[in-house]
A = this chain, B = another copy of it.
Amino acid sequence: MPDESGKSLIKLNHLALIVDDMDAALRFWGESLGLSAAGERRTVAAESVEIAFLSLGDARLELIKPTSDDSGVAKYLAKKGPGMHHVCLEVRDLEARLAELAEAGCELINDKPRERDGRRYAFVHPASTGGVLLELYERG
Q: Which residues of A contact B (CB under 8 A)?
A: 1, 3, 5, 7-8, 10-12, 15, 17-21, 24-25, 27-29, 31-36, 56-59, 63, 81-84, 87, 89, 97, 100-101, 104, 106, 126, 128-132
Contacts and interface: CB of A to CB of B under 8 A. Distances in A.
Nearest to A104: B32
B35 A130 contact: no
21 contacts: A7-B33, A7-B34, A8-B36, A10-B33, A10-B34, A12-B12, A12-B15, A15-B15, A18-B131, A19-B130, A25-B129, A25-B130, A28-B129, A28-B130, A32-B104, A59-B59, A82-B126, A82-B130, A82-B131, A83-B130, A84-B132
By secondary structure, the A interface counts as: mixed
B83 A17 contact: no
A14 to B, nearest CB: 10
Contact of A24 (B15, B63, B130): B130
B58 A57 contact: yes
A37 B100 CA distance: 19
